[in-house]
Structures are given as structure tokens and as C-alpha cells.
């Protein structure tokens, strides 16, 4: 009589034990930063690790910057600012928007989508470009106008001569621009369609080649790791090279899972990218990265990461592609979610004169949060050299609350770093102290 | 009273319960077949189907489980076969829940654990349905 009940209790206890085992062991910070990161074994518990940002207001607080620098909010109440562009006359353009909307295919998509949304701004994306002007060079951007609106989740921005290019989530468009203009005079002209089916990773990063002949467009994958099928990945996880004159494109480099920001190196003309790597392989593997992008290069996704480290979740596998995969240049740490990259300028001063700034929106699928800051990766002889240092931090306070999430960064050649913050909907400006 | 002259008659499952427990078994069978299709085809849509079928199986199975627990208020059900029925339901649901978590992994990470668990869950649910629906007297279903 009693025996089945006893068995039931014993069985349930065993199941509960099975549920609570192997929950994430490694909780140290990213040991995997730099040119040759340590890549721990893959691990994934029964539940993926998650730690979602708990948003709070800035109040009187401000992000932390190094001694000798000051930070100010130059625009607030934006509508999901993601990327910015400093125009030749010092005006700043901000792309505001929120794309995506990929269909939910599994119960997981429904549940995870809800959970992740808790760490984001509830403001609706602006689908517009805002222009900010500091008329008297006092560091206060007193003039603000809507340069263009009714765009479709604009993200990447680039200026070539008198043409302003905007990468919407579904198309690359262009506006005529003359210096001093505060509002587009006509509707945008389409240069080319961009891959937009599903748009799991919707952001379209953009930068122009040094000679102005080409645009480079970063296009993210349509899944974490092929869970929407291989057909969904046609024309995804790559950087396109677009001919400015004709709109014709070719894949410039492939296997880049989510190239969220691109920048051309001053002097060399070399294209660089920050790329967000795959989830659910462990808290410290694989690292998001900064890399120079080689024409024709294949960087691993989905078959492998950081060179030849095979991802077993992909079927069918492709050993030839794995063998061809290039290891990136510089690991930023796993799950930091790099969404901005910009080359510095001597006017930034001191130890921050030569290198790149990288905006890190911050992790969600890792027990101990990482990212939530802007780091500086120092360069020497045109290559990353040395440890990344925090340049803007304090977005996630010691109280566990998150007041901002830094994304796109751009550098004003007169000596300022512009940081878009898509949680507090603020544009920050960091300058050497006067 | 539900007794006959020779032996006590077992109270049969309510038809709604019979429907629900049958549906649970069928849903878990569908999940197993979908997992098998993914295993041989690499087409991810099959593992998506399996995820939803498992979720539905847990929903139906959860209702069956609650109603089985409620059935314990009848004295004649606090005996071997009915308790065993409840036990198999409970274990099938619990393993099914773990299977749902396994199926929340991306792409091939579901294999092979998901396939194996789907087979186990289907078997456990099948045994539970047998215990619940078979009244011990073939050919004389009351």
C-alpha cells in the first residue's frame, strides 16, 4: 500500500536533484580578454544561466570616467538611440530605433523573449535620426532637431561627401546632405535592399571605405546557432561590400555571427568589426571579439568559434569550413555584447590617443553580469596591444541596478567620445577635463 | 454502492479523464516521432514541433495529474493499482518537464538526451494510461 507513495517521493527527490545540479560553476569575470583568450570547456546546465538587468533611473548619478575626463548627458529622452555619427561641422546625428520581431517558434522563444524584455527600455523605437548642435562650442548641445523620420529601425550611419547613408533594418538608403543642414530636404533614396527576412539579429552596421567607393554593411545571423534552420541563414552572419555608385553588393567576409559595429582604421583603411558570439555554450566561452576583417575571410559561424573550436549544435557539420575559419584578433570577453566600435584620435589625450573604444551593452545570459561599460583597447603599430581598460563604467551600480546600457560609440575628432545609451535613452559625451 | 456479489468493482475513470490521459499519451508520442524525424533529417522544424507537443503533453498531463490526486478522496482508490497509476503519471510529468527544458536547447544540442527522454516519457505515460483505463476485466467494460 505505502510502497508506491514512497517510490513517488524518492523519484521526485531524485528529479529535483537532477534539476539543481550543474548550475554554472564559473563565476569569475572574463578571463578571456585579449588576443589569445582562454577558452574553457563548453557547458550548459538544464536551465541556461540568466541575469537580466534591473533598470533604475540615473537621478544625480553619472557614469564613471577616468581621472582627467568629464562626462555629460547631451541629449535625453531619445527613443532607443543606438548609433551616432559626428558630422564634419561637429553636429551629431543619432539613429533611434528598435527592429526585429522575429516570429516565436518554440515555447522557449515566448518565455525568453518576455524575460529579456525586462532588462530593456520600454520606450518605443523612434525610427528617426535626431541632429544635435552645439552652436557656441561650450559642450552643451542646445539645438536639437529631427533630421529624418519614418525610417525602419535605422542603425548604421555613414557620410561620404555630401551623401548621408543610413542602414535601416531592411534597406540601405541615402539622403543628400549639405553642411549645416538640420533636416533632410527629401525622402531617402534606396541604395539597395538588405536581408530582412525574420531579422533575428536586426541591426545593420555601416561604415564607409576610406576612398568612399564602398560601404560595408554588417548583417547578423538569423538565430543563435542555426535553430531557425540553415535556409534562414542565407545572406546572414556576414559583412557586405556595397558599391556606392551602383548599389551592387558582394559578401566581403562571412562567418561573423553578429557584426554589430564596423569602423575603418584611420591611416591604413583597414576594416574592423566587433562581433557578438553565440550563447549557451558557457559563461566564459566563446568570447565576443574585435577583429580586423579580411576580404574573403571566414570567421567560423556557425560551424566553429575562435578558429577551429567546433560547435556541436550545428548539423550538418562542415569540417572544411571549420579548417578555413580565421581566429579573430582580440577577445572582448564572453557575452559582453559589444555594440559599438570607434577609433580614437590624438585629441582624446594621453593613454587613450591610440586605440578603439568599444561599447558593451552588457550580458543577460550569464550569472555574473559582464559588460555594461565602454572599454578602450589600446593599439600599437596599428594592432591591439595590451589589456582593455574601462573608459566609461558605472552603468550597472554596486546596488545591482542598471541605469544605462552603452551601445554605439563615435569619436569627435576635436576630442570627445559620444556614447549612446539605449536603456536611459541618453546620449553621453566624454571629454578631457578642461 | 458499487459492489457486486463476488468482488469490489473498481470505479472507472471519468470519460473526460480518459480522454485527457489518452491525449497526453498521444502528444508525447507525437513528440517522440518528431524527435526521431529530427534525428534522421537535421530539419529543425521537427524539434520545434517536439517542443510544442511536449508543452501540450505537460498541460494535458498536468490536468490528469491534478484530477488523479483529487480522486484519492475515494477510499476505494487508495489502493495499489490507482496509486501506481498516479505514480506513473507523476513520474511521466516530471521527466516530461525535464524533457521540455532539454528541448529548450538550441538545434542539435537537444540530441540525444531529448530523443531518449521522449521515449521514456511516452512509455511512462503509456503505462499510466494502461493502469488508469484498464479495469481488469477484458471484454466487460463497464
Q: pLDDT tens for residues B68-91?
A: 999 888 877 777 888 999 999 999
Mean predicted confidence (pLDDT) in A386-402: 95
B107-120 pLDDT, tens per residue? 999 999 999 999 99
* Facing residue for B109 by CB, picked from A18, A105, A313: A313
Quote the mean pLDDT of chain B: 89
Q: Is residue A329 predicted with pLDDT exceeding 90? A: yes
Helix, strand, or coil (residue B120): helix
Buried b / exposed e over A194-210, threshold 16 CB at 10 Å, is bbbebbbbbbbbbbbbe
User: Tell me, what's the pLDDT at B9?
Assistant: 60
Q: Between chains, do B95 and A18 touch, taking CB under 8 Å as contact? A: no
Q: Between chains, do B55 and A107 touch, taking CB under 8 Å as contact? A: yes
**A1: pLDDT confidence band, cut at 50, 70 and 90?**
very low
* Facing residue for B44 by CB, picked from A1, A15, A229: A229
| ∠ Cα A281 A285 A286 (to 5°) | 100
Position A134 in a domain: yes
A315 touching B, CB under 8 A? yes
Asked if A357 and A417 touch (Cβ cutoff 8 Å), the reply is yes
Q: Between chains, do B107 and A15 touch, taking CB under 8 Å as contact? A: no
CA distance A330 to chain B (A): 27
Q: How many domains does chain A have?
A: 1
Q: Is residue A18 predicted with pLDDT exceeding 90? A: no
**Residues in B touching A280 (Cβ below 8 Å):** 105-106, 109
CA distance B87 to chain A (A): 6
User: Tell me, what's the pLDDT at B74?
Assistant: 81
Q: Is residue A149 predicted with pLDDT exceeding 80? A: yes
Position A10 in a domain: no
Mean predicted confidence (pLDDT) in A188-203: 98
Position A144 in a domain: yes
**Residues in B touching A108 (Cβ below 8 Å):** 51, 103-104
Position A31 in a domain: no
Q: Is residue A302 predicted with pLDDT exceeding 70? A: yes
Position A20 in a domain: no
Q: Is residue B126 predicted with pLDDT exceeding 90? A: yes
Of A1-15, A168-182, A352-366, minimum mean pLDDT range: A1-15
- Pick the residue from chain A with its C-alpha nearest to B84: A4
Q: Between chains, do A47 and B101 touch, taking CB under 8 Å as contact? A: yes
Structure ipTM: 0.86
Q: Between chains, do B107 and A46 touch, taking CB under 8 Å as contact? A: no
Please provide the DSSP assignment of A349-413 as one string: -GGGSSEEEEEE---SSSSS----EEEEEEEETTEE-S--EEEEB-SB-TTSEE---EEEEEEET
Residue carrying C-alpha cell 561627401: A161
Position A5 in a domain: no
Residue A278: CATH number of its domain = 2.120.10.30
**A413: pLDDT confidence band, cut at 50, 70 and 90?**
very high
Q: Is residue B140 predicted with pLDDT exceeding 70? A: no
Q: Between chains, do B106 and A12 touch, taking CB under 8 Å as contact? A: no
Mean predicted confidence (pLDDT) in A175-201: 97
Q: Is residue A3 predicted with pLDDT exceeding 80? A: no
Question: How many CB atoms within 10 Å of residue A66?
Answer: 17
Residue A192's domain spans which residues?
Answer: 51-432
A280 touching B, CB under 8 A? yes
Q: Which of B34, B76, B102, B106 to mutate to test the interface with A (most CBs of A within 10 A)?
A: B106
Mean predicted confidence (pLDDT) in A248-271: 98
A318 touching B, CB under 8 A? no
Quote the mean pLDDT of chain A: 92
Position A18 in a domain: no
Helix H, strand E, coil C: the string for B26-75 is HHHHHHHHHHHHHHHHCCHHHHHHHHHHHHHHHHHHHHHHHHHHHHCCCH
Which cell numbers in the block locate residue B125? 505515460
User: Tell me, what's the pLDDT at A317?
Assistant: 96
User: Tell me, what's the pLDDT at B142?
Assistant: 44
Q: Is residue A206 predicted with pLDDT exceeding 60? A: yes
**Residues in B touching A15 (Cβ below 8 Å):** 94-95, 98
Helix, strand, or coil (residue A17): helix
CA distance B113 to chain A (A): 11
Q: Between chains, do B98 and A15 touch, taking CB under 8 Å as contact? A: yes
Q: Between chains, do A46 and B45 touch, taking CB under 8 Å as contact? A: no
Q: Which of residues 50-109 of B touch A (CB under 8 A)?
A: 51-52, 55, 78-80, 83-84, 86-87, 90-91, 94-95, 98, 100-109
A124-144 pLDDT, tens per residue? 999 999 999 999 999 999 999
Q: Which of A2, A12, A14, A15 to mutate to test the interface with B (most CBs of B within 10 A)?
A: A15
Helix, strand, or coil (residue A123): coil
Mean predicted confidence (pLDDT) in A384-407: 96
Helix, strand, coil share of chain B (percent; to 5)? 75, 0, 25
CA distance A14 to chain B (A): 10
- Pick the residue from chain B with its C-alpha nearest to A18: B98
Q: Between chains, do B79 and A1 touch, taking CB under 8 Å as contact? A: yes
- Reported pTM: 0.91
Which cell numbers in the block locate residue A308? 577551429
Position A292 in a domain: yes
Q: Between chains, do B84 and A4 touch, taking CB under 8 Å as contact? A: yes
User: Tell me, what's the pLDDT at A369?
Assistant: 94
State the sign of the Cα–Cα–Cα–Cα dihedral B23, B24, B25, B28. positive
Q: Between chains, do A280 and B105 touch, taking CB under 8 Å as contact? A: yes
User: Tell me, what's the pLDDT at A247?
Assistant: 97
Amino acid at each position: 500500500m505505502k510502497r508506491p507513495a514512497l517510490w513517488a517521493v524518492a523519484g521526485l527527490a531524485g528529479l529535483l536533484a537532477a534539476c539543481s545540479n550543474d548550475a554554472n560553476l564559473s563565476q569569475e569575470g572574463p578571463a578571456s580578454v585579449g588576443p589569445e583568450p582562454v577558452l574553457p570547456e563548453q557547458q550548459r546546465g538544464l536551465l541556461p544561466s540568466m541575469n537580466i538587468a534591473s533598470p533604475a533611473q540615473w537621478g544625480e548619478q553619472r557614469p564613471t570616467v577616468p581621472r582627467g575626463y568629464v562626462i555629460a548627458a547631451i541629449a535625453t529622452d531619445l527613443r532607443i538611440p543606438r548609433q551616432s555619427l559626428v558630422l564634419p561641422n561637429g553636429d551629431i546625428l543619432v539613429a533611434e530605433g528598435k527592429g526585429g520581431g522575429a516570429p516565436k517558434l518554440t515555447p522557449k522563444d515566448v518565455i525568453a523573449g518576455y524575460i529579456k524584455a525586462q532588462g530593456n527600455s520600454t520606450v518605443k523605437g523612434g525610427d528617426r535620426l535626431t541632429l544635435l548642435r552645439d552652436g557656441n562650442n561650450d559642450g552643451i548641445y542646445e539645438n536639437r532637431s529631427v533630421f529624418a523620420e519614418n525610417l525602419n529601425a535605422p542603425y548604421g550611419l555613414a557620410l561620404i561627401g555630401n551623401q548621408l547613408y543610413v542602414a535601416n533594418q531592411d534597406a540601405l538608403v541615402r539622403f543628400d546632405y549639405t553642411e549645416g543642414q538640420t533636416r533632410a530636404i527629401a525622402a531617402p533614396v534606396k541604395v539597395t535592399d538588405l536581408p530582412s527576412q525574420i531579422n533575428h539579429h536586426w541591426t545593420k552596421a555601416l561604415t564607409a571605405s576610406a576612398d568612399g567607393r564602398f560601404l560595408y554593411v554588417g548583417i547578423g545571423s538569423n538565430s543563435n546557432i542555426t535553430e531557425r534552420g540553415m535556409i534562414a541563414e542565407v545572406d546572414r552572419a556576414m559583412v557586405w561590400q556595397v558599391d556606392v555608385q551602383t548599389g551592387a553588393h558582394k559578401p566581403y567576409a562571412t562567418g561573423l555571427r553578429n557584426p554589430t559595429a564596423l569602423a575603418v582604421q584611420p591611416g591604413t583603411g583597414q576594416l574592423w568589426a566587433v562581433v557578438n558570439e553565440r550563447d549557451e555554450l558557457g559563461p566564459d566561452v566563446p568570447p565576443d571579439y574585435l577583429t580586423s576583417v579580411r576580404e574573403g575571410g571566414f570567421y567560423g559561424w556557425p560551424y566553429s568559434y575562435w578558429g577551429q573550436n567546433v560547435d556541436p549544435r550545428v548539423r550538418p557539420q562542415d569540417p572544411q569550413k571549420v579548417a578555413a575559419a580565421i581566429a579573430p584578433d582580440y577577445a572582448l570577453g564572453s557575452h559582453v555584447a559589444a555594440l559599438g566600435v570607434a577609433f580614437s584620435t590624438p585629441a582624446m589625450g594621453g593613454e587613450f590617443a591610440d586605440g578603439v573604444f568599444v561599447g558593451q551593452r552588457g550580458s543577460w545570459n550569464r550569472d555574473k553580469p559582464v559588460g555594461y561599460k565602454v572599454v578602450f583597447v589600446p593599439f600599437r603599430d596599428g594592432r591591439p596591444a595590451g589589456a582593455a581598460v574601462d573608459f566609461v563604467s558605472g552603468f550597472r551600480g554596486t546596488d545591482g541596478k542598471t541605469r544605462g546600457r552603452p551601445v554605439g560609440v563615435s569619436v569627435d575628432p576635436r576630442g570627445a567620445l559620444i556614447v549612446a545609451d539605449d536603456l536611459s535613452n541618453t546620449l553621453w559625451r566624454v571629454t578631457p577635463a578642461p | 454502492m458499487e459492489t457486486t456479489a463476488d468482488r469490489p468493482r473498481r470505479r472507472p475513470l471519468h470519460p473526460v479523464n480518459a480522454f485527457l490521459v489518452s491525449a497526453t499519451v498521444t502528444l508525447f508520442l507525437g513528440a517522440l516521432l518528431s524527435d526521431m524525424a529530427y534525428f534522421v533529417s537535421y530539419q529543425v522544424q521537427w524539434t520545434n514541433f517536439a517542443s510544442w507537443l511536449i508543452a501540450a503533453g505537460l498541460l494535458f498531463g498536468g490536468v490528469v495529474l491534478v484530477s488523479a490526486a483529487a480522486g484519492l478522496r475515494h477510499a476505494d482508490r487508495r489502493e495499489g493499482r490507482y496509486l501506481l497509476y498516479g505514480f506513473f503519471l507523476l513520474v511521466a510529468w516530471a521527466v516530461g518537464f525535464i524533457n521540455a527544458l532539454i528541448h529548450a536547447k538550441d538545434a542539435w544540442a537537444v540530441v540525444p538526451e531529448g530523443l531518449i527522454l521522449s521515449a521514456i516519457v511516452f512509455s511512462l505515460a503509456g503505462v499510466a494510461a494502461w493502469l488508469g483505463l484498464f479495469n481488469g476485466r477484458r471484454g466487460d467494460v463497464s
